[in-house]
Amino acid sequence: MSRSAFDTAVIGGGLHGLSAALHLARAGRRVVLVEQNWVGRHASGATAAGVRTLGRDLAEVPISLESMEMWHRIEAIVGDHCGFHSYGQLRVAEFTAHLPSLEKRLETMHQQGYGHEEIIDRAELLKLVPAIAPHCVGALIARRDGAADPHRALRAFRRSCEGAGVVIHEGCGVTAIDRRGSDWHIRAGEQEITVPVIVNAAGAWAARLAALVGDDIPLGLKASMMIVTERLAPLLKPVVSVVGRSLSFKQSDQGTLVIGGGLQGRADIDAQKSAVDFTELAKGARAATDLFPSVKDVRITRSWAGIEAKTKDLLPVIGPSPNASGVFHAFGFSGHGFQLVPVVGSIIADLVVSGKTQRHISPFSAERLMTTRAAA
């Protein structure tokens, strides 16, 4: 294949890389995607796959709401429903002392003109989630939220990408990026690619990628742990989290319980390995059994930790590189990027194709992290 076969290279075969590649290809770009392992190897394959607007940082709310609209028509976008169900997400207050924080959040949302979050009382909570412990007093709810099946989403995005002409090279880790006139020359495994445009969607490895083109963006790591149990009879439909504890609790289509919430395991970015810390994970099991007493005899079949990037303010980096023309970043989703997948791909396509976007992305600039560091 000749070098001029492509005009855009996406680095990173997670869902954000796939979404960017898909939107770019549909906008007429000739896209190659390189992935160091295989598509969905790390965060995208290890995610709880919550599709959540509830409780998002105000800076993220506009794009999150737009992304939610895209999730509700995901089948039209990627040809598959991705296992997406919209049974709502709830943030439960166990005790009356927890209610004021929910009320304050609701007030903020109303002040900003948002109506997608509501407070429900104990009676409605018990109606929506009959299995929840009776001591709980109420909840904040986003009714159009839900969850999807990450592996199904990966397959659908991959298939759509390939259908749109994206060429995917797996097992190709980027080792060098050099300027060649107005182009970038990328070495990735056996592939040598020369393109004017690069999209950096390399997740936990994105800071290293950025450094290759001259952007020094400080990035932390997350290794959020997950528990999956054996299958059980239908127990609940919404996704439940709780004030003051690390818990996200839901039931998959297969009947397994999927329990996360951001408890941290150990990650080794060089070895590309992560490990579960069961002493820490015990807190999640404790929260799950406190909130859902009927699950205490349910057997855990698997647990794991993903590896992904975290920024200082827990907001992603979405936008052009400050130092390298033709390079666009989309990473640092800090544990809540799954829901944003459809919209961020569309934003990147805007930026690459027309150099601008209607969406409000200034809070996600790479500069904010870089200047903070320079001032420190």
- Looking only at the bridges linking them, the beta strands covering 183-188 and 174-180 are antiparallel
How far, in Å, CA of 328 to CA of 200, rounded?
Answer: 6
Q: Which is nearer to other proteins, 299 or 356 (CB)?
A: 299
Give the closest residue to 195 by CA, choosing from 340, 4, 335, 2. 4
Sequence-separated (6 or more) residues with CB below 8 Å from residue 271? none
Q: Which is nearer to other proteins, 300 or 314 (CB)?
A: 300
Q: Which is nearer to other proteins, 30 or 266 (CB)?
A: 266
The amino acid at 67: S
What is the CA angle 187-191-197, rounded to 5?
A: 60
Tokens representing 304? 């794991």
- Alpha carbon of 283 to those of 23, 55, 76, 279, 334: distances in Å? 40, 22, 40, 8, 21
Q: Which is nearer to other proteins, 167 or 348 (CB)?
A: 167
Shortest Å distance, C-beta 28 to other proteins: 26
Does 139 engage in binding with other proteins (CB under 8 A)? no
Alpha helices in 32-149 (DSSP H): 43-46, 61-72, 74-78, 99-111, 122-128
Which range, of 68-76, 188-196, 223-231, 307-315, touches other proteins by CB under 8 A? Answer: 223-231
Does 224 engage in binding with other proteins (CB under 8 A)? no
Does 175 engage in binding with other proteins (CB under 8 A)? no
Among 216, 290, 313, 367, contact with other proteins (rule: CB under 8 A): 290
Does 337 engage in binding with other proteins (CB under 8 A)? no
Which range, of 70-78, 126-134, 225-233, 337-345, touches other proteins by CB under 8 A? Answer: 225-233
Q: Which is nearer to other proteins, 92 or 349 (CB)?
A: 92
Shortest Å distance, C-beta 31 to other proteins: 17
Q: Which is nearer to other proteins, 101 or 289 (CB)?
A: 289
Tokens representing 329? 């970043």
Among 298, 315, 341, 351, contact with other proteins (rule: CB under 8 A): 298
Tokens representing 69? 């609209």
Contact 133, 292 (CB under 8 A): yes
How far, in Å, CA of 119 to CA of 96, rounded?
Answer: 13
Contact 362, 36 (CB under 8 A): no
Does 17 engage in binding with other proteins (CB under 8 A)? no
Q: Which is nearer to other proteins, 75 or 95 (CB)?
A: 95
The amino acid at 122: R
Does 362 engage in binding with other proteins (CB under 8 A)? no
Please list every residue from 77 through 116 that binds other proteins, using CB under 8 A: 94-95
Which class for 181: exposed (0-12), middle (13-18), buried (19 or more C-beta within 10 A)?
Answer: exposed
Which range, of 3-11, 78-86, 274-282, 338-346, touches other proteins by CB under 8 A? Answer: 274-282
Contact residues for other proteins, defined by CB under 8 A: 38, 40, 45, 94-95, 151, 154-155, 170, 227-230, 244-245, 254, 257, 259, 273, 275-279, 281-283, 285-286, 288-290, 295-304
